[in-house]
Chains A and B, each alone.
Chain A
Amino acid sequence: MINKLVIANLMHRPIRSLLGIVAIGVVVCMMLTLVGLSRGMLQGAAERAGGVGADVVLRPPGTSLLSLSSAPLNQRMTEFLVTQEGVRLAVGQVVFPIGGIDTITGIPYKEFSELSGGFTFRSGGPMQSPDDILVDEYYARQRKIKIGDTLTLINHEWKVSGIIASGKLARLVVSMDRLQELTGNEGKISQVFLRTEPGTDIQALIARLKEKLPGYPIYSMEEVVSFFSVENVPGLDAFINVIIGISALVGFLVVFLSMYTAVLERTREIGILKSLGASPTLILRIILRESVLLSLCGAAAGIALSFATRWIIQTLVPASLTQVLVPDWWAIGAVVALVGALLGTLYPAWRAASQDPIEALSYE
């Protein structure tokens, strides 16, 4: 019966209830989308790195896996590395930032193909000239690029010769020589991929290399892939926490307003319940139950909405953004909504519970 009353109350003001649910839904969705994006982008990066087919990566001194350095390494490094015991292939690479989080990657095509087993072409094929460019399918879809199109990047016109399957190395791939020229990095590279001889102990190899090349960050590919996680991106954790805080605050305000007006509007009804012998605790329980229901519906709406944002991102900007579903965060989202809602209900509920029945009954 109490539940019936709670539901009847919510149904009695469908627009307000709906608005409350949508507002909570939007903040929960915002949370899930953000976490999903952070994870999705990192997973995408990890996947592309893993797809290269290398066992070990060597980076310039003083850099981390996530820093976008242009090309501080001497290209001769590859020649040195390939002479080391256990190393079969050493392939350099130039990564150049082109604004935002986009980068363009230059590779020696033949050596890279040997390392990675080559690109999978969705259409077109390998570069025919140094001014050809390969773009991955998401980038092509997002920018509506076809084979033979011209792309202007770094003040240079590139001709699209192939559209490659996503998940290997990068979204934009050009000839390393041409990229070095264009960016004034002749003879310089950003990092080196190593492929080991079968049966090589990778950790031992890394230890040996570190001894010879002190100060150079050297990682196994496994490390690289596992490095792409939320905890390892400076500030991302804090950023997500801020978003959670804002979500809880908005949930609090929405529910506070909604329940505050509901309690005012129902002053008389609360007086009636009290005249029938409803204790303050019972009134409190009714109001709390209503806001719990409101926030749980809001959380469910938020989860549903996060599927929608994922679909929209996948359809509109698949190359720039990747959102994954984060079911492990659904409960967190619901709890944040719930905590915000309960805090927002405390004062209105207390007001309702402590109303004098006679005064409440004479309220118009």
Chain B
Amino acid sequence: MSSEPIIEVSDLRKIYRAGDVDVYALRGVDLTVQRGDFLTVIGPSGSGKSTLFHILGGLMKPTSGIVKIAGQDIMRLSDAQRTNLRKVTVGFVFQKYNLLPILSAEENITIARTIAGLPQRPPAEFKRVLEVLGISHRMHHKPRALSGGEQQRVAIARALVNQPEILLADEPTGNLDTENSAIVLKLLRQLNEEFRQTVLMITHNPEAASFGHRTVTMRDGRISESLD
């Protein structure tokens, strides 16, 4: 593993203002992730896992703390720069797949390239990613014609099509049955091993967590323990 960490977080705090009430979602998170790592995050619902990922993915601004993604300090980025981070530096996979229902699987993937201002045609190596994901033959179908597992694999392909440095997956198997969960988890591991793709995954299933190299647990807005 290279010496320069791809993610460095220290004393990260996030306070949501919900009406008159302040919700302390993150209360001082410290986290370091190396390039090529496969980190899983577990923890009870409401412990701040998604909030952490949204900040790492440039979808949301932290309240305070230091967040460095691939050498960039998130706190100092403008809105436009955070948008750019989403385009190429990180790829996001959600529990609910979040595919555009009106576009085919292929179009759902290429639109990520269009948005990033890249040529519509993915790089040659991406073919291999599609093979690993096993969806090459389903590319012309609309999401509703695909199974949940297939939709999630299309979503993973979309997250990877711009060759991001980091793949963030927020409960990617949360909507899948055991069989499809196993397929998706194995795929994430294979992508990590074969392409040295850095992967961060949230799950609340300890068995799923064991697919990573390393697991951290979140509780009450803090990372409470770290197992190797």
Binding site for B on A (CB under 8 A): 1-2, 4-5, 8-9, 11-12, 268-269, 271-279, 282, 357-358, 361
Contacts and interface: CB of A to CB of B under 8 A. Distances in A.
B137 to A, nearest CB: 22
A279 B59 CA distance: 12
Contact of B103 (A8, A271, A277, A282): A8
A358 B120 contact: no
Nearest to A362: B96
B77 interface: no
Nearest to A268: B98
A4 B54 CA distance: 29
Given A358-B59, A361-B94, A361-B98, A276 B103 contact: no
Q: List 7 A-B pairs, minimum CB-CB distance, nearest first.
A: A277-B87, A277-B86, A1-B114, A8-B102, A12-B102, A272-B98, A278-B115
Contacts of A277: 83-88, 112, 115-116
Contact of A275 (B59, B101, B110): B59
B110 A276 contact: no
Contacts of B112: 276-277
Count class of interface residues, chain B: 20 to 34
A4 B115 contact: no
B88 A276 contact: no
A358 B120 CA distance: 26
A361 B60 CA distance: 13
B131 to A, nearest CB: 23
Interface in B61-96: 80, 83-88, 92, 94, 96
A4 to B, nearest CB: 7
A279 B81 CA distance: 10
Contacts, number: 68
B100 interface: yes
Interface of B: 54, 57, 59-60, 80, 83-88, 92, 94, 96, 98-103, 107, 110-116, 120, 158
Contacts of B80: 279
A240 B153 CA distance: 58
A331 B107 CA distance: 35
A134 B169 CA distance: 87
Nearest to B80: A279
Contacts of A12: 101-102
B100 A4 contact: no
Contacts of A4: 103, 107
Contacts of B100: 5, 269, 272-273
Nearest to A12: B102
B171 to A, nearest CB: 13
Contacts of B120: 1
A298 B192 CA distance: 51
A261 B103 CA distance: 20
B60 A276 contact: no
Contacts of B107: 1, 4-5, 8
Contact of B86 (A9, A268, A276): A276
Given A1-B113, A277-B112, 19 more contacts: A1-B110, A1-B114, A5-B102, A5-B107, A8-B107, A272-B99, A273-B100, A273-B115, A274-B86, A275-B86, A275-B92, A276-B87, A276-B111, A276-B116, A277-B115, A279-B83, A358-B59, A358-B60, A361-B94
A12 B103 CA distance: 10
Contact of A9 (B87, B102, B113, B115): B102
